């Protein structure tokens, strides 16, 4: 009698972690935009990652991780992918609305979900997620207002997001939640020179420090720790499909914090994406383990 509740808990626990992580990261993205006029997207990414590194260093104590040459290589790639994902996404937010930027970025994890799929039912949920994304991305005359450079940044962030999923799962299997701290530290070292060159002494503006700490917690320290835990508790294809909720969270965050009014098609997109995510959760195999590759 106890097996069913245990299985239900093991299924819902990582799903709940992902929902909290996505709500946190999109709220942090809205807050981060307030820093752009002073230090730009480059400086904002730098402060976010630096403060997140300090927070996660103190909490997770990553020096306890036992790294081998092979696992260190995986962690480095994971950290660079994480830094690139943050940087390119913030660069896209300069000219692309939050909901659209998240939808474009999601092409990365969606590609992971399609590549990792093994059952026909998975393609039903992936198809619904694609319909939702198409409804979120403006077409026709409205598409002319989308900045092509910003769109390129968002798509580049999607590539980094796909690498983050694949290498994050490998690294997490070796070192657990401490991998998140190691990855953020590497990401900070990778992005910091770009932010310093762009913003210079403006990075030391006292009024930015509380905002930067808030962004670091909401957008990096909390969500990436939760995602790392979830990554090691579900298959790659399920993680990728569940992350289809991300554009919906982005659109809602834009409505609440940036006063972006949602159209009917955007609400329909949210419905499709949530349906796909719920379907993927309900059809998750109880005995499934995270997909790992030795290569």
pLDDT tens digits for 82-140? 999 999 999 999 988 888 888 888 778 777 766 766 678 778 878 887 887 777 665 55
188: its two tokens: 């900070």
- pLDDT of amino acid 143: 46
Contact 90, 34 (CB under 8 A): no
CA-CA distance, 192 to 54, in Å (whole number)? Answer: 14
Q: Residues near 148 by Cβ (< 8 Å), separated by ≥ 6? A: none
DSSP H helical segments within 33-147, as ranges?
36-60, 69-93, 98-105, 107-116, 120-136
* Inter-CA distances, 153 with 70, 85, 280, Å: 30, 9, 29
CA-CA distance, 41 to 141, in Å (whole number)? Answer: 28
- pLDDT of amino acid 252: 83
Among 33-37, 44-48, 273-277, where is mean pLDDT lowest? 273-277
234: its two tokens: 């579900």
The three-class DSSP label of residue 46 is helix
Mean pLDDT of 249-259: 82
Contact 74, 181 (CB under 8 A): no
Please give the torsion angle defined by the CA atoms of residues 113, 117, 121 and 122, in that order, rounded to the nearest 10 degrees: -10
Sign of the Cα pseudo-torsion (209, 211, 217, 220, in order): negative
18: its two tokens: 């992902």
CA-CA distance, 219 to 24, in Å (whole number)? Answer: 6
CA-CA distance, 97 to 294, in Å (whole number)? Answer: 39
The 10 Å Cβ neighbour count of residue 89 is: 28
CA-CA distance, 26 to 116, in Å (whole number)? Answer: 26
Contact 110, 126 (CB under 8 A): yes
Indicate if the pLDDT at residue 18 is higher than 60.
Answer: yes
pLDDT tens profile 216-234: 999 887 887 787 788 777 7
This prediction has a pTM of: 0.79
């Amino acid at each position: 009698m106890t097996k069913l509740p245990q299985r239900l808990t093991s299924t819902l626990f990582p799903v709940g972690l992902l929902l909290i992580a996505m709500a946190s990261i999109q709220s942090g993205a809205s807050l981060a935009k307030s820093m752009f006029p002073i230090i730009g997207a480059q400086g904002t990414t730098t402060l976010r990652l630096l403060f997140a590194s300090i927070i996660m260093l103190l909490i997770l104590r990553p020096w306890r991780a036992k790294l081998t040459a092979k696992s260190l290589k995986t962690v480095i790639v994971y950290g660079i992918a994480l830094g690139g994902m943050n940087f390119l996404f913030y660069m896209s937010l300069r000219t692309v609305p939050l909901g659209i930027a998240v939808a474009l970025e999601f092409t990365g994890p969606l590609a992971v979900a399609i590549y990792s799929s093994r059952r026909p039912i998975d393609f039903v949920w992936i198809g619904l997620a694609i319909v939702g994304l198409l409804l979120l991305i403006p077409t026709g005359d409205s598409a002319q207002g989308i900045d092509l450079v910003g769109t390129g940044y968002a798509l580049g962030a999607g590539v980094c997001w796909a690498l983050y999923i694949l290498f994050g799962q490998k690294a997490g299997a070796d070192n657990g939640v401490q991998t998140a701290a190691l990855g953020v530290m590497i990401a900070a070292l990778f992005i910091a020179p770009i932010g310093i060159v762009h913003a210079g002494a403006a990075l030391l503006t006292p009024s930015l420090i509380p905002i930067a700490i808030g962004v670091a917690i909401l957008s990096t320290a909390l969500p990436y720790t939760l995602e790392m835990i979830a990554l090691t508790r579900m298959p790659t294809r399920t993680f990728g499909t569940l992350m289809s909720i991300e554009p919906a969270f982005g659109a809602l965050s834009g409505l609440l914090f940036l006063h972006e009014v949602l159209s009917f098609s955007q609400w329909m997109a949210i419905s499709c994406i949530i349906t796909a995510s719920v379907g993927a959760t309900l059809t998750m195999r109880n005995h499934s383990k995270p997909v790992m590759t030795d290569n």
